[in-house]
Structure 1
Amino acid sequence: MEKINKRKIFNDPVLGFVSISDDLLFDIIEHPYFQRLRRISQTGLSYYVYPGATHSRFLHALGGIQLMQITHKILRDKGVEISKEEERASLIAILLHDIGHGPFSHALESTLLDGIHHENLSITFMNLLNEEFNNELSLAIDIFLNKYPRKFFHQLISSQIDLDRLDYLKRDSFFTGVSEGNVNSERIITMMNVINDELVIDSKGIYSIEKYLTSRMFMYWQVYFHKTSVTAEIYLIEALKRAKQLTKEGKEVPASDILNYFLKKSDFIKLTKVDLEKFAQLDDSDIISALKLWQADEDKILSLLSQFIIQRKLPFSCIISEPISKDKLLKLENATKELFDIEDGKNFVHQKDLSVLAYNDKKDPIKLLLKNGEIIELQKADNQVLVKDLRKKITRYHLCMPREIYGVK
């Protein structure tokens, strides 16, 4: 008997009830490729700092649908014509924009599949789903790739003020409890308009835009670049790299069959269908299960890294304004080598630059619609307060090392 989809409603703690009334949209949500996102952490290991941050990519994608539906209504009320086909395609595009994320989202992006960005995986999965659903995703793919002439649809999904950011800022703020990131997404959407098929913001919304830009900047420094969660993710990456290295050397490293596939394979220049099918089964639980086993591994480096993550015995870490020298790093690595009696201390001592550019006025700048019909770029508005300062990139340096060697001269 053929399955008949009825109207579905999801209860989102952040945005309220999300209605799914399109059969194709619901069938995509039900697909195993998409259901995997229930098992992918939205904010990596941020829950090591903010215990409530256990929300998933699945929930974020549903939030994108809700904001897109609100946007369609607002724009139609302002006289913007949106066909049923465009409506469905833009909803599918925002739903699937993150489908290519791997375990712990950005944390392992270039570790398990060397050099493969999650957006490339997203479009690959969208193409596979398009084949499965008789090319009904073709318009959504064109929108996602910015090939559709009506540019505002792509801008709603990927730009400096897109629905993706409006959802994740509000959502991550809610689940972490960091109020600085709580943006008024509906207020900003209400200020959206379309001129010549490009997205603009009514000029009276300028301060909401500035608040949004500063909120995003603070969320980076307070949540996404928090010294402890960055350290946890660095050690997670090091553990996976070590496991891959040991596997390459012919040593048996216990892991699920799915994770073992990616530990053994290193050439992902051209993704095969087998690669994609395996990746579609990989999630956070494979990594956590492996780390629990690796705590007792005979390889001391892998064992220590895994213990530090699972038991949350994280090293000393700090954010500094100037990087330390290579000589100083080498001394710290050597001290770590002696401390743990291992062949190399590089797995445990790290320095990483962290940069935030709150507003890029050179790439796809936000445009304001003035009352007289003129369109200007955000940074050129006479009444802007913060934008000029937000155009400066801020760079800091994250440093971590075992607590026992902190203070080594």
Structure 2
Amino acid sequence: MGYSEEKMYEEKVFKDPVHRYIHIKDRVIWDLIGTKEFQRLRRIRQLGTTFLVFHGAEHSRLNHSLGVYEIVRRIVDDVFDGRPEWDKEERLLSLCAALLHDLGHGPFSHSFEKVFDLDHEQFTQQIILGDTEIHEVLAKVDPGFPKKVADVIAKTYRNKLVVSLISSQIDADRMDYLQRDAYFTGVSYGHFDMERILRVMRPKEDQVVIKHSGMHAVEDYIMSRYQMYWQVYFHPVTRSAEVILTKILHRAKHLSEKSYTFKLPPIHFYSLFEGKISLDDYLKLDESVMLYYFQLWQEESDPILSDLCTRFVNRKLFKYVEFHPSNEQMSKLLELNKLFHKAGIDPEYYLVVDSSSDLPYDFYRPGEEEERLPIHLMKNNGEIRELSRESEIVDSISGKRRTDHKLYFPADILENDTGRRKIKKQIRQLLDLD
């Protein structure tokens, strides 16, 4: 028996609040979980700054990765097994890709990526293909196996059915994070009937399809996703924390470029600031490291960096007002910028427009920038139909992008004070605070 077929002497079982149990039978999966690159995910929160709004949202990327693995394990072992459309030789590849799909996430994930122009999927592939413990385990299966796992995550693997299990509009990734994030934030929006969806999944050549009888469960799933994005992921206070986090990183980078002398040199950030971060440097970064620097930077002599870090560490977040990018609103923003400068408040860091946008479901539109593989229903006669052609609920939201704009600012320093009372009053009037 080769390494790829080796099973644990006794099945390992992890207790899980979402799936009850996570079952580990394969030696390869157990060895991957034990690598330092996978264990690093314990120190990366799944929801970034959301813990500052929903106090229970302290769960990690590791929790989620195990959950995605478990959903895929159930699909390939219980739903697809024995069906002629499913190649059993793809089982281990599917499990490994599910477990490792988020391996390259950095601290505070998407905010971090935006500032430094990084792509976590590229780092995931580098970890899988590089000189790492993860690569060492995968290469024991077969020298070409790490490349196959990386290709699944990059969505370039030849078997699109395998890719669709972890990357499609109804995949194991979304099914886990919706339920897990709902559980840890304490909201009810993200719950849907996953058991029903798994029962009606069927493998086809290029992707998973859903039996027509399961359409209502899929409708519920899509609406759950819609509600989670607007009630949790795009929560305006979470976005306030992200704005401050982003500005901290921008300010630290700016100071470093100006040869500012930090009380403690930010050695973990230098390669990031220079745009030359190596894989080793990247893997040394996690949220505990970043929070350590934020804690210290509260004492920096630069007043902007010190203030922003104090706000983030102690949850003294920016307030916000609705903002619509019309000509009138843009004129108001220009006036606010001038007034902030007059008041001695740098608008680059303290007056920020933030926009969030989501497209809950879309079908394939050839030639468009974001082509999406649709969710397909299989009727009793074997006919395949795109979901929105059968569901009035899904049709009503298909292709409809919702966008929300907010203007963030520090309301506390806009209070009147001697010498700038008149200017700050003008600012407050423009922001409709008075």
In the superposition, the TM-score normalised over structure 1's length comes to 0.90
Count of residue pairs the alignment pairs up: 395
Whichever residue aligns with residue 94 of structure 1, its letter is A
CA distance in 1, matches of 2:98, 2:81: 21
The answer for the alignment partner of 2:329 in structure 1 is 325
The answer for the alignment partner of 1:123 in structure 2 is 125
- 1:98 to 2:102 alignment: yes
The answer for the alignment partner of 2:419 in structure 1 is none
CA distance in 2, matches of 1:258, 1:22: 40
Greater Cα shift, 197-206 or 364-373: 197-206
The answer for the alignment partner of 2:428 in structure 1 is 407
Greater Cα shift, 187-196 or 383-392: 383-392
Shift of 1:291: 1.0
Shift of 1:80: 4.3
- 1:148 to 2:157 alignment: yes
1:345–1:197 Cα change, 3 Å: closer
Q: What SS does structure 2 have at the residue aligned with 1:376?
A: strand
Shift of 1:171: 0.3
- 1:347 to 2:349 alignment: yes
Asked if the contact 1:335–1:345 (Cα under 8 Å) also holds between the matched residues in 2, the reply is no
The answer for the alignment partner of 2:41 in structure 1 is 37
Asked if the contact 1:34–1:58 (Cα under 8 Å) also holds between the matched residues in 2, the reply is yes
- 1:52 to 2:42 alignment: no
Shift of 1:131: 4.6
Whichever residue aligns with residue 170 of structure 1, its letter is Q
Whichever residue aligns with residue 285 of structure 1, its letter is S
1:178–1:33 Cα change, 3 Å: same
Whichever residue aligns with residue 195 of structure 1, its letter is K
1:17–1:115 Cα change, 3 Å: same
In the superposition, the TM-score normalised over structure 2's length comes to 0.85
The answer for the alignment partner of 1:393 in structure 2 is 401
User: Deviation digits for residues 310-369 of structure 1, max 9, x if unmatched?
Assistant: 111112124455556333223333444455x35x22211111221111101132111110
CA distance in 1, matches of 2:317, 2:210: 44
Greater Cα shift, 349-358 or 314-323: 314-323
CA distance in 2, matches of 1:335, 1:402: 14
Query: Unpaired segments of 5 or more residues in structure 2?
Result: 1-6, 365-371, 415-426
The answer for the alignment partner of 1:158 in structure 2 is 167
The one of 316, 331, 354 aligned to 1:313? 316
What are the within-5 Å matches in structure 2 for residues 7-406 of structure 1? Answer: 7-76=11-80, 79-80=83-84, 82-83=86-87, 85-111=89-115, 114-128=116-130, 129=132, 131-133=135-137, 134=139, 135=143, 136-254=145-263, 259-262=268-271, 265-268=273-276, 275-320=278-323, 325-339=329-343, 341-342=344-345, 344-362=346-364, 363-381=372-390, 383-404=391-412, 405=414
Q: What SS does structure 2 have at the residue aligned with 1:277?
A: helix
Shift of 1:227: 0.5
Identity %: 36
Asked if the contact 2:300–2:306 (Cα under 8 Å) also holds between the matched residues in 1, the reply is yes
Q: What SS does structure 2 have at the residue aligned with 1:109?
A: helix
CA distance in 1, matches of 2:322, 2:177: 24
Whichever residue aligns with residue 408 of structure 1, its letter is Q
Whichever residue aligns with residue 256 of structure 2, its letter is T
Asked if the contact 2:234–2:356 (Cα under 8 Å) also holds between the matched residues in 1, the reply is yes
1:234–1:254 Cα change, 3 Å: farther
Q: What SS does structure 2 have at the residue aligned with 1:189?
A: helix
Bigger radius of gyration among the two: 2
CA distance in 2, matches of 1:242, 1:313: 18
User: Deviation digits for residues 100-125 of structure 1, max 9, x if unmatched?
Assistant: 110012221122xx322111111111
CA distance in 1, matches of 2:87, 2:378: 24
Asked if the contact 1:322–1:396 (Cα under 8 Å) also holds between the matched residues in 2, the reply is no
Whichever residue aligns with residue 429 of structure 2, its letter is V
CA distance in 2, matches of 1:190, 1:407: 56
1:318–1:88 Cα change, 3 Å: farther
CA distance in 2, matches of 1:330, 1:307: 28
Query: Unpaired segments of 5 or more residues in structure 1?
Result: none
Whichever residue aligns with residue 159 of structure 1, its letter is S
Q: What SS does structure 2 have at the residue aligned with 1:201?
A: strand
User: Deviation digits for residues 206-236 of structure 1, max 9, x if unmatched?
Assistant: 1111111111111111111100010101110
CA distance in 1, matches of 2:218, 2:318: 38
Asked if the contact 1:40–1:283 (Cα under 8 Å) also holds between the matched residues in 2, the reply is yes
Q: What SS does structure 1 have at the residue aligned with 2:22?
A: strand
CA distance in 1, matches of 2:19, 2:230: 25
Q: What SS does structure 1 have at the residue aligned with 2:356?
A: strand
User: Deviation digits for residues 71-127 of structure 1, max 9, x if unmatched?
Assistant: 11343357246455411111110111111110012221122xx32211111111111
CA distance in 2, matches of 1:125, 1:309: 30
CA distance in 2, matches of 1:310, 1:335: 28
CA distance in 2, matches of 1:255, 1:9: 44
Greater Cα shift, 168-177 or 320-329: 320-329
Whichever residue aligns with residue 346 of structure 1, its letter is E
